[in-house]
Amino acid sequence: MHRLGLMRENCVVPGIVMAGATCQFLAVYLLRDNFPVLVELTSELSLGKDRFAIAEWCLRLASFASATADLLMSLRQTTRTRTVVSLNMSGYFAKPVRTAWKPLCHQGEEESGGDHSTPLFSLKNTELNHIMGLYERIRLAHKGTDVDVKTLILFPEGVVTVPGEDVPESKAVRSMLLECCKSDHFVGIDLLYCPLILFPRLFVDEGWVISKPTEQHRQGYLGQLYAATTALNTAGVAHLDMRPANIMWRPVPEEASMSCVEIRLIDFEDAELFGDEICPELVSTIIKLGDRRYPFTTGDEKTTQTANKFHNDFFYEAVSQWTASEFENFQEFMALSGAEIFVSTKQMIK
């Protein structure tokens, strides 16, 4: 399809697989300069109990095939003479899926490697589904609205899993993926069979930074951050780590946008749906370290903490006040002002 001239975004092939009395609808799509990716469209469906849903999906497949055929017929004169299928990670940032909450490390420290013995089962795919479900929740919450959340939040484009050492034919792929993670400073993590979430890489030479915005760009930066915070609150997702280090931004020409800044909120590794329990280990460690960058206070470790709007609003208020301060370092600023921001944000929520 790509060789025949279709844009990469339209090179999608849906299909169906069957096993006994169950079936499942899947699709294959293309990553940029890369290999095809297989994704689930439905959960397993029973040929007895889910016949209506199966019929609906069959009609969708027929409609999709017809629309794709029309696109191909209109592009007969634009056939590409050469199409290469490869594993090209240069344009992607590969984020390993962790099986447990990551510890807070001081700058310059490496994470402990922990126990690398082979467990009887893995929670990596469960965590992967949780993270991808959060992105889907945000997308669906703004479907059909004027808010383009992909201009505020960096969405993943696919997933690749690191092969194990028991498949000799995958040695080159495994080595390449491990080296890719190493170059991005993911050390001390058991990466064998680990899913890697692929994000478009935001390059420094394209203007993307995580530094404190200049006075010229402060209002644009905060305007975009407020829009991102509102998008999260609308979707009912608490980021829980919305520090400046996870806010990528760059100036854009004023004539190209109403704002002179664009941002991408990254790293939803600790995020939770509103009403869901926040990892107790996360809360207790933050309290133990006295880390004022996070929206928790002494005593919170003794009770169940559930994610809610307050957590997003706290980070927005903290980052907002930091950009107006004389501090370049966010942690230093929060060490002095975090407790006051925590109290004031609580009062505003009430």
The model's pLDDT over 297-311, given as tens digits with 9 standing for 90+, comes to 999 999 999 999 999
CB-hemisphere CA count at 13 Å for 7?
3
Q: Is the pLDDT of residue 140 over 90?
A: yes
For 279-288, the pLDDT digits (tens) are 999 999 999 9
For 215-271, the pLDDT digits (tens) are 999 999 999 999 999 999 999 999 999 999 999 999 987 655 545 899 999 999 999
Q: Is the pLDDT of residue 86 over 80?
A: no
Distance of CA 220 to the CA centre of its chain: 23
Residue 80 has a pLDDT of 62
- List C-alpha distances in Å: 139 to 148, 150, 350: 9, 8, 28
pLDDT band at 320 (very low <50, low <70, confident <90, very high): very high
For 122-138, the pLDDT digits (tens) are 688 889 999 999 999 99
pLDDT band at 96 (very low <50, low <70, confident <90, very high): very high
Residue 95 has a pLDDT of 95
Residue 344 has a pLDDT of 96
Question: What is the mean predicted confidence (pLDDT) over 188-203?
Answer: 92
Question: Going from the N-terminus, what domains does the chain have, and what CATH number goes with each?
Answer: 8-78 (no CATH), 91-101+123-201 (no CATH), 203-350 (1.10.510)
State the DSSP string of 327-339: -S-HHHHHHHHHH
CB atoms within 10 A of CB 34: 21
For 102-120, the pLDDT digits (tens) are 555 443 333 444 444 445 5
Distance from C-alpha of 175 to C-alpha of 66, rounded to nearest angstrom: 41
Residue 168 has a pLDDT of 87
Residue 326 has a pLDDT of 97
**Which is it for strands 237-238 and 195-200: parallel, antiparallel or unpaired?**
unpaired
**Which is it for strands 45-46 and 36-40: parallel, antiparallel or unpaired?**
unpaired
More confident residue, 61 or 37: 61
pLDDT band at 145 (very low <50, low <70, confident <90, very high): very high
Question: What is the mean predicted confidence (pLDDT) over 195-214?
Answer: 95
Residue whose C-alpha is closest to residue 339's, from 293, 299, 308, 306 = 293
**Which is it for strands 195-200 and 36-40: parallel, antiparallel or unpaired?**
unpaired
Helix-strand-coil split of the chain, %, nearest 5: 40, 15, 45
Residue 1 has a pLDDT of 86
More confident residue, 29 or 36: 29
CB-hemisphere CA count at 13 Å for 187?
9
For 1-33, the pLDDT digits (tens) are 888 888 888 999 999 999 999 999 999 998 887
More confident residue, 34 or 344: 344
Q: Is the pLDDT of residue 272 over 90?
A: yes
**Which is it for strands 247-251 and 195-200: parallel, antiparallel or unpaired?**
unpaired
Asked if residues 52 and 36 have their Cβ atoms less than 8 Å apart, the reply is no
Question: What is the mean predicted confidence (pLDDT) over 271-277?
Answer: 97
Distance from C-alpha of 16 to C-alpha of 40, rounded to nearest angstrom: 10
- List C-alpha distances in Å: 216 to 120, 151, 212, 222: 55, 21, 11, 12
First to last CA, the chain: 55
- List C-alpha distances in Å: 157 to 102, 110, 228: 23, 28, 19
Question: Residue 197: in which H helix or E strand, if any?
Answer: strand 195-200
Secondary structure in 3-state letters for 230-268 = HHHHHHCEECCCCCHHHEEEEECCHHHCCCCEEEEECCC
CB contact set of 195 (below 8 Å; sequence gap of 6+): 96, 97, 124, 125, 128, 159, 160, 161
